[in-house]
Chains A and B, each alone.
Chain A
Amino acid sequence: MMHDFTLRVAGESGEGVITVGETVARIAAREGLQLVTFRTFPAEIKGGACMMQLRLSDQKISYHGEKVDCLVALNQAALDENFPDLKEQGVLLCEAECDVIEDGLSATVYKVPFERIAVREIGSRISKNIVVLGVLAELLAIPKPRVEEFLAEKFAKKSEAILDHNMQALEKGICFARENFSKREGFGFPPGKPERHLLMTGNEAIALGSAAAGVKCFFGYPITPASEIMEWLAVHLPRMGGKVLQTEDEISAICAVAGASWAGEKAMTATSGPGVSLMSEALGLLSIAEIPAVIVDSQRGGPSTGLPTKTEQSDLMLAIHGSHGDAPRVVIAPTSVSECITMMGAAFYFAEKYQMPVIVLVDQALSARVETVKPGIVEEIPKSSRLRAQAPAEGNFARYKLANSPVSPAAIPGTDGCEHMVTGMEHDEFGNFACDDETHTAMTVKRFRKLEEIEHDPLTQNLCQSIGEGRADIGVVTWGSSAGPVEEAIAEARRLGISVRGLVPKILNPLPHAQMKKFFSEVNRVIVPELNFTGQLASQLRATYRVPTISLTKIKGVPLEPSEIVAKIIEATDGLQQRSARRYGRAR
């Protein structure tokens, strides 16, 4: 049977919530367990409520879990906020001073004086998080040597005394749990597996994937929730001979990407919605000038400054259409941390091969979540290269040659005999400005034909995930980080006996038409869950395939929960039953 355990740690930012969560996560990864986490961020720089949730399993999981088996609440506010999500038979660990109404409660409640142990017995308030860790280690059967090993690494650069201090705090926590808690079999960590997993956030995965795909120049401007991508690359890219520059704004960043890419290097930027808005004009430039570029958009909530620390999937239309004129670009959306690595490879593959901008859509929840990744994953990254030109035997080099293939060989500056213009103006084959209707039509068609070729590219065929096969009453189509909860919801709905399957296009422009059309022909009703108000993917599907869709939208700043999707599936099933009842008459 699948082992499935969900832990949530909640408190005030600065109380060590994240340290506890990350430590448990790291150990789980080293134990060979699968792990998906979720964390919230307060909008404040210091203080504010925060929580980290970890779901661990001995099998593949794609969602961070809905109800929790164990809740750690470090203060009253955290308790009140998070208690409703505790399972009925779950375990609550809370700070001793918290008020818990225990009447009629089926959950187990352990009040632990975390703070008092830290202050009185260790003599430092900041070691409270290690006391929490000790209590959890005992309660959840986390192998103690692993915890000690981790602390030794964490404090390796600190003094012996500090490490000693923390080891004591750990021991105090363990002792308290041993003396006061009753043992629960099978609660917490399952037995470990021999292989160790990597553990990283979505943003780290994007950065690692970019480095592995061969990015040489990164230009960016700090923005929540994408900054960590630039921060990671600033440390590590120079080690591989690459360059990172923080520019004065996003416009400068994308334009520097254009320049660097034209000069022959793989170049990228990473930003959030506000940055993409600023970059929109340059997206058109990259498109018309046919310059490869990779742009990561880690989406956050709302328009303008909106909800900077909350998650949303509301930039789909911006990604596909943002910029004036007809400006084709590729849009892809990974659904997990592992895919953040491999799909950065896909991004550079499409950008370099088809000489156009590629937008990678992730969101705050995926950027920030920590997930286990298999160690050999970087080997799955597709290789990418740009078709290079040779100098013409005579005459000028035609950078934008109209030929059978919409992709013209490119020459990078420095190549002998291929001097040419690239330009944001409409241009002829040689890059000279030309505003006549024939040229504009021919060149626009050339640029859009790339999307047709991409649709049939072998790599595209792997960028659409089917959940289940064959005919079904209900079809669920979703994208990006909503794929995890959809997968869980479909499994749950099937357990309820509903005929349902799912489709997750990971390339959203161009859409994988063959697979989409087949899917629509095989299902009766289409539900489209996504994290935005207007149903952006649903609109896109209606416009492209003329299929009626049922939108399930959410703008609460947090991911969809499987139960919300299951409810929608059930609702749609009722509708189907009523419709078939009308059509065939009611059973007598």
Chain B
Amino acid sequence: MEEQDKFCDYLSGVNPVWCPGCGYYGILGALVEAFVDLKLPSKELALISGIGCASRLPYFVKSYGFHGIHGRALPIAQGVKIANPNLTVVTVGGDGDGLAIGGGHFPHVARNNVDLTYILFNNAIYGMTKGQFSPTTTLFSSTKTSPFGLTGEALNPSALAIVYGASFVARGFSVKKEQLKDLIMQGIRHPGFAFIEILSSCSSFNTTDMNVARLLKAIDTVPADHDPENPVEALRLAGDESKIHLGVLRRSSRPSLEDRFQEIEKKAQRGKSHGIDSLVRQFA
């Protein structure tokens, strides 16, 4: 079958190292299907990650992959996109990578509206280091490093993205693969910074916060009449504690960083490109 062949075309041949039953397999599947449907050539695809279980994903996909350092996927991805705007840049990582150690970069890549897609795998636990709490673990949870109950409130990644000014914010669930594929495709097509939070279970270390059976009862699709252009409504849905809304929460249209750079170049050059000689002359 042609479709399946194409799916295989995107696999690097390196097998995932994730635990059996990990929600990330579903995300990998949805991501590759999105690439297939978008007909993205592997050579123009840059997959950037930090450190953690989710950050291993680039090894498994045929693409130009960059497995960087903990928490720094977004700054690396930003550099890639700025240097070569023709690439499709997709950044993947976990909740610890993106919201704990890397939490300081997220707002800035969002407000700069760098044209890349940031997919945050939210399993509310540190899986790779085997079971310590993450910034999205539920308050009072008992983990290896919070044996008497967690003291900090959980962060809400989608709500943060909206507040940070991300021009596209969506939430998906690893077991809802069709919807997830659609959200990823929308995110990649979005001209600007696209953030996608994906809820996922951790079969080894967090079967409570992200318990699939519980989540299936708690989720709801974003209402059909939701206007993602309205940031207040978007934030209300993202922060709704009665239901977990899946779908596109926020969408706005504003110039990307690349658009800004083009404007800057125009302003600086005033119609003519300058050589080094003209720069030397100002020191005479």
Residues of A within 8 A of B (CB): 30, 196, 198-200, 204, 208, 211-212, 216-217, 219, 235-236, 238-241, 243, 245, 247-249, 251-253, 255-265, 267, 281-282, 285, 289, 373, 375, 378, 396, 412-425, 431-433
Contacts and interface: CB of A to CB of B under 8 A. Distances in A.
A409 B275 CA distance: 30
Interface stretch (B63-71, B121-129, B181-189, B222-230): B63-71
B283 A373 contact: yes
Interface in B99-125: 104-105, 107-108, 112
A464 to B, nearest CB: 28
Contacts of A417: 43
Q: Which 8 A-B pairs have the closest CB atoms?
A: A259-B79, A256-B79, A255-B75, A238-B268, A260-B83, A413-B64, A263-B83, A260-B79
Contacts of A216: 83
9 contacts: A198-B280, A212-B279, A217-B82, A259-B76, A262-B80, A264-B84, A267-B79, A425-B67, A433-B59
Given A216-B83, A241-B273, A432-B59, 20 more contacts: A208-B283, A217-B82, A217-B83, A238-B265, A240-B275, A247-B75, A248-B107, A249-B104, A255-B72, A260-B80, A260-B82, A261-B83, A262-B80, A282-B69, A289-B66, A413-B43, A419-B64, A421-B59, A422-B67, A424-B69
A23 B232 CA distance: 56
Quick one: which of B13, B46, B72, B105 has the most chain A CB within 10 A? Answer: B72
B213 to A, nearest CB: 34
A221 B156 CA distance: 29
Contacts of A433: 59, 67
Contacts of B269: 238-239
Contact of A239 (B44, B87, B279): B279
B268 A235 contact: yes
Given A248-B108, A416-B43, A433-B59, A258 B279 contact: no
Contacts of A267: 79, 83
A240 B107 CA distance: 29
Contacts of A420: 64-65
Given A259-B66, A421-B65, A212 B76 contact: no
Given A239-B274, A432-B14, A204 B79 contact: no
Contacts of A261: 79, 83
A204 B76 CA distance: 27
B108 A252 contact: yes
A236 B276 CA distance: 10
Contacts of B108: 247-248, 252
B42 interface: yes
Contacts of B136: none
Given A199-B283, A251-B75, A414 B43 contact: yes
A259 B65 contact: no
B78 interface: yes
A494 B283 CA distance: 36
B116 to A, nearest CB: 10
Given A200-B283, A248-B105, A249-B104, A258 B59 contact: no
Interface range, B side: 35 or more
Contact of B79 (A219, A239, A378): A219
B62 interface: yes
Contacts, number: 177
A413 B284 contact: no
Interface string B232-268: 0000000000000000000000000100010011011
B58 interface: yes
A451 B102 CA distance: 33
A251 B72 CA distance: 8
Contacts of A252: 72, 74-75, 78, 104-105, 108
Contacts of B62: 419
Contact of A421 (B44, B67, B69): B67
Given A423-B67, A424-B69, A413 B46 contact: yes
Given A256-B76, A259-B77, A421-B58, A212 B66 contact: no
Contacts of B105: 248, 252
A239 B268 contact: yes
Contact of A423 (B64, B66, B81): B66
A256 B78 contact: yes
Contact of B82 (A245, A412, A419): A245
A106 B66 CA distance: 70
A202 to B, nearest CB: 13
B198 interface: no
B9 to A, nearest CB: 11
A282 B275 CA distance: 32
Contacts of B257: 245
A255 B76 contact: yes
A248 B76 contact: no
Given A199-B283, A238-B268, A378-B276, A281 B78 contact: no
A216 B264 CA distance: 14
A425 B264 CA distance: 37
A416 B41 CA distance: 9
B67 A198 contact: no
Nearest to B275: A240
B75 A263 contact: no
Nearest to B276: A212
Interface string B91-105: 000000000000011
A153 B43 CA distance: 53
Interface in B1-26: 12-14
B69 A422 contact: no
A490 to B, nearest CB: 30
B68 A236 contact: no
Given A212-B276, A413-B80, A258 B68 contact: yes
Nearest to B72: A255
Given A217-B83, A255-B68, A255-B76, A241 B43 contact: no
Contacts of B51: 424
A419 B76 contact: no
B278 to A, nearest CB: 8
A5 to B, nearest CB: 22
Contact of B80 (A30, A243, A263, A424): A263
Nearest to B49: A423
Given A239-B269, A241-B265, A373-B283, A256 B82 contact: yes
Given A239-B269, A252-B72, A260-B82, A419 B63 contact: yes
A432 to B, nearest CB: 6
A200 B44 CA distance: 42
